[in-house]
Amino acid sequence: MNDLHGKSIVLGLTGGIACFKAAELCRSLVKAGAKVQVVMTEAAAQFITPVTMQALSGQPVYTSQWDAREGNNMAHINLSREADAIVIAPASADFMAKLIHGKADELLSLMCLARPIQMVPLILAPAMNREMWAHPATQRNVAQLKADGTHVLDVGQGDQACGETGDGRMLEADEIVEELLAFWTPKVLTGRHLLITAGPTYEAIDPVRGITNLSSGKMGFAIARAARHAGAQVTLVAGPVSLPTPRGVSRIDVKSAMQMNDAVQLTAPHADVFIAAAAVADWRPATSADQKIKKDGSGDTPELQFVENPDILALVAKSPRGQNGELFCVGFAAESHDLLAHATAKRARKGVPLLVGNIGPSTFGQDDNALLLVDAHGAKELPRDTKTKLAHDLIKDIASRLSKF
């Protein structure tokens, strides 16, 4: 999915070693579907060449306000009018100070000053030494930039080129792209807290064996990411999966159904929406051996006794907040056949306003899916698409229901 398809972005580079990250950022923006026009200061060209950025962006790079390629010699006007946003990455301490005072002595600062403020947002990804970042002057400048309507991203923490360690690193390319995706997503869930479960559970038989299922967690993680983009505070309770935590999402790792239930029951009282996307094991072994159960060659097999796991969704839906409408509950049903019939029955059994069904074997581990949304009035299909796209569609649907709930 080209999340930034159709977006025209001016990528501005100012002086700093973090310019090397701008190369990957440019590549990532183009890969995401954006048209990228690079504008560099003289200082930036000391760290990375315009030739490199031209190769990655596929567009001529601008470095001078006197560039004769523009027929009217007004690159600062023409380029800013064509942009959906100006992204400065890296944004140096010096450049941010210039913006505060409206200084415009070279092309990039001219563009920032000349852009139509209401139409072309300015987004900064700061990068500097930890002491420079912590300096009161820099922090005053950041506060003033935000007050002026500039969107200033957080800085990263870690090793710096100078050999020191601390705050001030420019965010990584994928983190900046994620911030841009969130920036342009309508904030239909602002002020809402979403609790989401994802992935399988693992029910131990002994220290090396257990019962699980084929759920990858990709759909639940995509929903958590989409919800965060839509402005929600998101808590993700994840079973044993090896997926990176979506940026800005609070994650609680669990393994068994009992652990997942404990985490959900602890968090649900503070949530506005509960989306039970996890594939929770229905049963667990009645006992788990302390040591590996060994095969002795006799041909005899161990007998396993099972007990039923708690029905996490039903417990939350039937809680006082679930019953009185304070908590909107969404269930998931991974079926192998007769999806509509099973999903409809499960929605009624669980007592939830919305049940999302899919055919498990055709989606487990895949990057795409097809969903069936079942409520009290019938069913609606979300045709097969990427899980990213379906997650955003589902979040929009849930947001619209919340306004009527």
Per residue in 20-72, pLDDT (tens digit) is 999 999 999 999 999 999 999 999 999 999 999 999 999 999 999 888 887 78
The reported pLDDT for the residue numbered 77 is: 85
In this structure, are 214 and 355 located in the same domain? yes
pTM reported for the whole predicted model: 0.90
Which among 26, 112, 162, 329 is annotated as catalytic?
A: 162
Domain span at residue 112 reads 8-184
> 98: which residues sit within 8 A by CB, 6+ positions away?
104, 105, 109
Number of structural domains, the chain?
2
265, containing H or E segment: helix 257-267
C-alpha separations of 28 from 41, 223, 385 in Å:
21, 22, 22
162 given a catalytic annotation: yes
CATH of the domain at 121: 3.40.50.1950
Percent of the chain with pLDDT over 70: 99
In this structure, are 180 and 198 located in the same domain? no
Q: In this structure, is residue 202 part of a structural domain?
A: yes
The reported pLDDT for the residue numbered 1 is: 47
The reported pLDDT for the residue numbered 2 is: 56
Mean pLDDT of the 158-179 span = 93
| CB neighbourhood size of 169 (10 A) | 24
CATH of the domain at 365: 3.40.50.10300
Mean pLDDT of the 209-220 span = 95
Rounded Cα–Cα distance for residues 310 and 358 (Å): 22
- What the block records as the tokens of 138 is 């820099």
Domain boundary (159, 184, 209) is at 184
Rounded Cα–Cα distance for residues 47 and 229 (Å): 33
In this structure, are 27 and 121 located in the same domain? yes
Q: In this structure, is residue 294 part of a structural domain?
A: no
CA-based nearest residue to 316, from 262, 241, 358: 262
Q: In this structure, is residue 296 part of a structural domain?
A: no
In this structure, are 210 and 144 located in the same domain? no
Per residue in 384-397, pLDDT (tens digit) is 999 999 999 999 99
In this structure, are 92 and 123 located in the same domain? yes
Mean pLDDT of the 288-297 span = 90
Mean pLDDT of the 113-122 span = 95
Rounded Cα–Cα distance for residues 360 and 15 (Å): 51
Domain boundary (184, 212, 234) is at 184
The reported pLDDT for the residue numbered 3 is: 86
Gyration radius from the chain CA atoms: 26
CA-based nearest residue to 196, from 221, 229, 232: 221
The reported pLDDT for the residue numbered 404 is: 73
Query: How many residues in the chain?
Result: 405
Round the average pLDDT of the chain to a whole number and report it. Answer: 94
The reported pLDDT for the residue numbered 222 is: 97
235: left (phi over 0), alpha (psi -120 to 50) or beta: beta
Q: Determine the 3-state secondary structure of 373 from DSSP.
A: strand
In this structure, are 336 and 203 located in the same domain? yes
